[in-house]
Each structure stands twice: as structure tokens, then as C-alpha cells.
Chain A
């Protein structure tokens, strides 16, 4: 397991944190999120939620997620986001 600054960076922990932040952003509990989930296409987050969610994620992991990377790496898909955060740490 990779761990840095007290944050677990294994798949399960990252997906759990993404789920937690998405739930906090939307106010919806019991979100069904896994590596294959597209947070926008699945209508879990709208554009405003997405912007807030990324800010929360950057703060949580102390990483920068540039818009170019969001687009080029298709970071709205949870698995891509997980890989990006792990590599950015």
C-alpha cells in the first residue's frame, strides 16, 4: 500500500474518499461509485458540483488538478482520477 502524509493511496481508499467527497458535494448518501464510474455521465455530479468536488479533492490530497489534465486524461472517470492522484503524490 502506498501512503503519504497520512493519506492511503491504494485503490480502495482513493475510491472511498472520492465517494465521500462526492456525497458531501451532492448531499446524496449511498452513491454507487467504482473505478469505472463516470461522475458526470452517471449524473452523480453536475458542472457546479464537479468544480466544488475538484477543489475539495485538491485540498484533501494537496495536489493540483489542471483543467488540461481533466480533459486529456478524462478525469471524470473515477479510475483515471485515482491513477492521477496517486501519480501526482
Chain B
């Protein structure tokens, strides 16, 4: 989720809506570049759209290199700290920079418990009107309570989930399941 911690803080704004989509899986390294032409988003592995008085758009430009797999488990920091209750999952203390990695882990684990663990649940989209709040949160090391709540589920194939920080909704995250 480097785009939130590396691209977003550098933008001037103000923005009143953020839409970060991952329509296609990629294992290649790359970077987010400004998308001058809306057509650039077509076929891109990821795109970031910001609406407001001065809209901004970025697409993930892949290079030829395969991303190196970290020998460390990226979810290791969160495993065992989660609590579940019905359609909810929470971790009591998460810092801003790890907020969305933790949210993704919680939603994936919640779906594996409540829906099915067949196949693979993947994150596809983040939407939020709370862009300023999000920008401040991801740049802040203060540890806060993180909660995710599934609000819609379609045929065990896709879902919508609210992400709450200290009880306040800061965004909506969508997941899809890739069948085995």
C-alpha cells in the first residue's frame, strides 16, 4: 500500500474523494506516475483517482523486473492480535503507516472464517470521501484501534467492507475471491 504512504502525502489537494483500484494482479515492480490521459488507466494494474477542485490521477507503471519476495511474512506483525465478532474484526493498536496492510489482513481473515477459505481473497479497491483524514492517519505513528466490518457480500465472490479507526469510518474496501 505504498501509494497511500508515499504518493498521497505529497499531493496538495484539497480532495473530496479517493478511489484506489487494483483491477489486475501484478508481480512486477513499478511506480505510480501521473496519468495525464484518462485512457492510461485502461489495462493498468492499479490506478489512483482523486476528485476535488483540482483532480489528480495516477496509474501504476510496471517495469520489467519481478518484485522480490520478502522472506518475512508481511502479516506476521498482525497475526494473533486480531479479535473477531460476527461480521467484525479488530486489532486494538495499529500505527498509521501499517493501517491498511492491517485492514487488508483483517478482511481477508474475516472472509476466510465467515465465508470460505477456498481460493484466495484479494483486495481490489479502496474508496473514501475522507481523504484529508486518511492522509493524516497514514502519516501518524500513533497506535489506534482498527476495525473492519463487512457490509455486503455477493455469492461468496465479492464483498464491501467498512474500515473504522477509533470508531470512525475512514473508507470502504472491496474484495474479490479468486476461485481455486
Contacts and interface: CB of A to CB of B under 8 A. Distances in A.
Contacts of B155: 66-67
Interface in B134-168: 151-152, 154-155, 157-160
Contact of B49 (A27, A52, A56, A64): A27
* Interface core residue of B17, B154, B160 (most chain A CB under 10 Å): B154
A46 interface: yes
A48 B21 contact: yes
B134 to A, nearest CB: 17
A87 interface: no
B46 to A, nearest CB: 11
Contact of A51 (B17, B49, B51, B158): B158
B151 A48 contact: no
Contacts, number: 43
> Interface range on chain B: under 10, 10 to 19, 20 to 34, or 35 or more?
10 to 19
A54 B125 contact: no
Contacts of A48: 21, 23, 124-125, 176
B100 interface: no
A49 to B, nearest CB: 8
Contacts of B49: 27
B152 A55 contact: yes
A58 B19 contact: no
B154 A52 contact: no
* Interface core residue of A47, A52, A54 (most chain B CB under 10 Å): A52
Contacts of A59: 151-152, 160
B23 A55 contact: no
A56 B23 CA distance: 17
Interface in B78-98: none
Contact of B152 (A27, A58, A66, A67): A58
Interface of A: 27, 46-48, 51-52, 54-56, 58-59, 64-67
Given A51-B174, A52-B125, 4 more contacts: A51-B154, A55-B154, A55-B159, A58-B152
